[in-house]
Amino acid sequence: MDAGRHPNITLLTYSEVEAVSGYVGNFTVRIRKRARSVDEEKCTGCGACQEKCPTKVVDTAYEAGLGYRKAIYRPFAQAVPSIPVIDRANCLWFTKGRCRLCEKVCPTGAIDYNQQGHHPGSPGGQHHPWPQATTPLMPGASPSLATAAFPKRLSPRWR
Ligand code: SF4
Ligand code: SF4
């Protein structure tokens, strides 16, 4: 959270490092920012879209498969920035061409179904289609592996 407020730090969230070149003290990093389908400049993080979204999806990340999130969601309550993302693989608009409820309830017009991924800082602000990616909690881990998240989610104190 402190890093998010720091004037000399630019957070590139929902992004992936594609390539690193250079040497100590002079690195060049190529980063691809994925499409949230939400305009970060307009979103206030009010949460109205998540509340009204009719699509529930099993949350295999934060809830360790033991709870649900919506098709438009923040990974967890304290996520920085407090801006949701549309899970295009489960959103009714992207899969069936109907709904758009999040767009209707958003008070700031932040929903952008046509948003595309891009390389921040690249000449001309290159834009590239970038499909929604789901990042597993532990990439490559056995599905039968129980992590610390399981007992936490099962604990009555968590609920
Ligand atoms: S358009 Fe998609 S993300 Fe928006 S409310 Fe409908 S299902 Fe949810
Ligand atoms: S309703 Fe709009 S402003 Fe509120 S969190 Fe969703 S996208 Fe952001």
Distance (Å, rounded) from C-alpha 84 to C-alpha 28?
A: 29
Task: Give yes or no for a cis peptide into 81 (omega within 30° of 0).
Answer: yes
Q: Find out whether the beta carbon of 48 lies less than 6 Å from any atom of ligand 2.
A: yes
- Taking only the tens place, the pLDDT of each residue in 92-134 is 999 999 999 999 999 999 999 999 887 776 654 444 444 444 4
Q: Please state, rounded to an integer, the average pLDDT across all residues of the chain.
A: 84
The pair of structure tokens assigned to 128 is 């590239």
- How far is the centre of ligand 2, averaged over its atoms, from the C-alpha of 88 (Å)? 16
- pLDDT beyond 80 at 15: yes
| All structural domains of the chain with their residue ranges | 2-154
DSSP 82: -
Give the position, in ligand 1's atom list, of the atom nearest the Cα of 72.
3
- pLDDT beyond 80 at 157: no
- How far is the centre of ligand 2, averaged over its atoms, from the C-alpha of 8 (Å)? 26
Dihedral sign for Cα atoms in the order 68, 99, 108, 52: negative
pLDDT value for 66: 86
Task: Give yes or no for a cis peptide into 120 (omega within 30° of 0).
Answer: no
Tell how far CA 82 is from the center of its chain.
Answer: 10
Give the position, in ligand 1's atom list, of the atom nearest the Cα of 55.
7
